[in-house]
Amino acid sequence: MSSQNIMVREFADIRQASRTAVKYIIDIAGAAVADKGFCTIVLAGGTTPKLTYELLSLPANAAQINWQQCHLFWGDERWVTAEHPDSNYFMAVRALLSKIPIPPQNIHRISTEYKDPATGAAMYEKHLHHFFHRAGRTSGNSPAENNTLPRFDLILLGMGTDGHTASLFPRSPLLGEKRKWVASVPGGTGSPPVPRITLTLPVFNQADNVLFLIAGQRKRALLHAIQARPKEAAELYPAARIKPAGNLAWLVAARP
Ligand code: 6PG
């Protein structure tokens, strides 16, 4: 499936790009709640989205989202405890979740409390099945089709300077995954090099909206390479394989 709409917007710095990301999140959440009564947003990890989360938590912005109807998920998680400084969940807690009136049951973190990452991945997939299908939140498909991929309203993503996104790294066998929604990733790659849990390409590519937020000249040059030579880039950079059913937007800050 290829994206219907691709938008790239360039900004001088991360503050400007983050302000636009906040607007994007507010608009999509509002439209989804108006349309079907709830919205589903997948948060990105890493450091780049931290300012977006902080800006979103400011009262004037936070008041524009119906948090009661907003469900938050994660695109990937590092295999560390929930209060570890490297936890993607914990970053979001500090920057956003601790400051907004979101019901705890609307926070769908990737738990790292299972015996191993493979079990953690299977349990998160089970949780997604439950949320979207058993609880009747299947969108765009018949609720009877219990295996249809979840269709998130908005997925936020970052990109590494090697072209990875979420925990999908270059040359990973996971790039060919067709069946699993969530998978474990062995340690040794990425920073920190701990094992990870990630959503898979079929799930990312089913989304209604994907928003990449990237900063710095190396990532900017990488995006330009992806745009100029998409076929070659798809072989080299996992981020180039993100082609959602809906809209794809890149917010690019020249300076972090
Ligand atoms: C992770 C991420 C990862 C991240 C990129 C960019 O858990 O590490 O989800 O894919 O988005 O590595 O990270 P920075 O924003 O820190 O550069």
For residue 192, say if its preceding peptide bond is cis, omega within 30 degrees of 0: yes
Ligand 1: atom nearest CA of 196 is: 7
Give the integer Cα–Cα distance in Å for 51 and 75: 18
Closest Cα to atom 11, ligand 1: which residue?
Answer: 158
Residue 1: per-residue pLDDT: 47
Nearest Cα to Cα of residue 88 among 14, 250, 196: 196
Q: How many CB atoms lie within 10 A of CB 93?
A: 17
Distance (Å) of CA 130 to CA 14, 70, 161: 36, 17, 35
Global pTM reads 0.96
Residue 139: per-residue pLDDT: 53
Q: Could you tell me if the CB of 246 is within 6 A of ligand 1?
A: no
Phi, psi of 164 (to 5 degrees): -75, 155
Q: Could you tell me if the CB of 164 is within 6 A of ligand 1?
A: yes
Binning the chain into helix, strand and coil, the percentages to the nearest 5 are 40, 20, 40
Helices 14-36 & 50-57 angle (0-180, nearest 10): 60
Ligand 1: atom nearest CA of 77 is: 7
Regions of the chain with pLDDT less than 70: 1-4, 138-146
Question: What is the DSSP-derived secondary structure letter of residue 134?
Answer: I
Q: Could you tell me if the CB of 209 is within 6 A of ligand 1?
A: no
Phi, psi of 225 (to 5 degrees): -65, -40
Sign of the Cα pseudo-torsion (83, 86, 91, 92, in order): negative
Ligand 1: atom nearest CA of 48 is: 15
Residue 5: per-residue pLDDT: 87
Q: Could you tell me if the CB of 46 is within 6 A of ligand 1?
A: yes
Q: Could you tell me if the CB of 219 is within 6 A of ligand 1?
A: no
> How far does residue 21's CA lie from ligand 1's centre (Å)?
16
Residue 137: per-residue pLDDT: 78
Residue 144: per-residue pLDDT: 46
Q: Could you tell me if the CB of 45 is within 6 A of ligand 1?
A: yes
